[in-house]
Amino acid sequence: MTRRRALLLATALAAPALLPGLAQAQAAYPNRPITIIVPFAAGGPTDVVTRLVAEVMSRDLGQPVVVENVGGAGGTLGAQRVAQARPDGYTLLLHHIGMGTTPSLYRRLSYDAVNGFETIGLVTEVPMTIITKKDFPANNLAELVKVLRERKAEVNLANAGVGAASHICGLLLQSAIQTQLTTVPYRGTGPAMTDLIGGTVDVMCDQTTNTTQQINSGSVKAFAVTTSTRNAALPNLPTAAEAGLPGFEVSVWHGLYAPKGTDAAIVNRLSRALQVALREDRLVARFAELGTAPVSQEMATPEAHRRYWQADIAKWRPIIQAAGQYAD
């Protein structure tokens, strides 16, 4: 027997003994804490959603699920970190609609914004609300639009930074009313909301997970919700269509991602844990308080998530190109 044939025979004999070890390694996942990167500041809408989901997922996975905020550059810094992380299932990303807009908003990125991730599942679709400081001189959406068109650049439109959901919604609002306002970007939703409440800025378009409490307390003035139906947490707030702005619909979807190349068994295990979390009664109740709800179990799967994400990229590309506003 030649040396080559002897090596092949030895490898073949050893392979069955190795397979149980590999199976055990996969079955052991996870055997240490998992980190979910939130690419925005702590306390913002995406951070709130992530922490609720992480708490329940950790119980199903049997390991701590730690949330880490890596904000900056419209969410691309956090996304880049995950895209370039080791694909072992221990570094994940929970991102919002920015995953659909980033490929068009940014013309130069150090990671692949389209093919750099494995999808795990969608989490929730959060409605947006159009709000102003409480003493803004308008009492309904029609009056608000009239004032915005008259004052134009005199009006300050706040957002949580380029690429943030509030920025995207603001772009759509300006496009819908064919008026350019003065955009004021902040480093996160928290500071933007603080200045809106304080009267430093005039208008903002943001997620119900961040605005419901402020609306109900009277800290800000609300004009419309940006979905086709009213929101259960804000039943008296009309839809944009009801209030006189037909066709203005936008919701902020959130999804969970792993780095490209993560083993399918790990992705599926994470997806199952996510599905368990989205059925948990306390999470469902807390989401309802924030004006949103978990997606269906079908949408919390890798396949449905990827289809939805790719369709959203295609949807936003012509809108962003028509606006001609890029983040780089």
- Is residue 45 included in any domain, yes or no? yes
Q: How many domains does the chain have?
A: 2
Q: What is the CATH number of the domain that holds 63?
A: 3.40.190.150
- 36 DSSP β-pair partners: 67, 92
116 and 161 both lie in a single domain: no
Are 173 and 215 within one domain? yes
pTM of the complete model beyond 0.85: no
* Contact (CB, 8 A) for 251 and 172: no
Closest CA to 251 of 215, 214, 207, 294: 207
109 and 257 housed in the same domain? yes
Contact (CB, 8 A) for 179 and 201: no
Token digits of residue 91: 């570094």
pLDDT higher than threshold 50 for residue 21: no
Residues 221 and 255 in one domain: no
Strands (E), 45-116: 65-69, 91-95
Instruction: Report the pLDDT averaged over residues 35-63.
Output: 95
131 and 216 fall within a common domain: yes
Mean pLDDT for the stretch of residues 142-159: 97
Range of the domain at 300: 33-126+251-323
The string of pLDDT tens digits covering residues 276-321 is 999 999 999 999 988 899 999 999 999 999 999 999 999 889 888 8
Predicted local distance difference test score (pLDDT) of residue 152: 97
In this structure, are 313 and 264 located in the same domain?
yes
Tell me the CA distances in angstroms from 207 to 131, 186, 229, one per residue in order.
10, 16, 15
In this structure, are 121 and 153 located in the same domain? no
Q: Residue 18: inside a domain, yes or no?
A: no
- Do 131 and 106 have their domain in common? no
Residue 231 falls within a domain, yes or no? no
Is the confidence at residue 25, as pLDDT, over 70?
Answer: no
Say if residue 65 is in the same domain as residue 117: yes
Same structural domain, 140 and 116: no
C-alpha torsion sign, points 242, 201, 287, 118: positive
Residue 24 in domain: no
Q: Do 315 and 287 reside in the same domain of the chain? A: yes
Task: Note the pLDDT tens digit of each residue in 185-214.
Answer: 998 888 999 999 999 999 999 999 889 999
| Residue 152 in domain | yes
- The answer to the question of residue 15 being in a domain is no
Handedness of CA 171, 177, 183, 188 (dihedral sign): negative
| 108 and 138, same domain (yes or no) | no
pLDDT at position 104, please? 94
Mean of pLDDT values over 138-149: 97
| pLDDT tens by residue, 220-253 | 999 999 999 999 889 999 999 999 999 898 889 9
13 inside domain: no
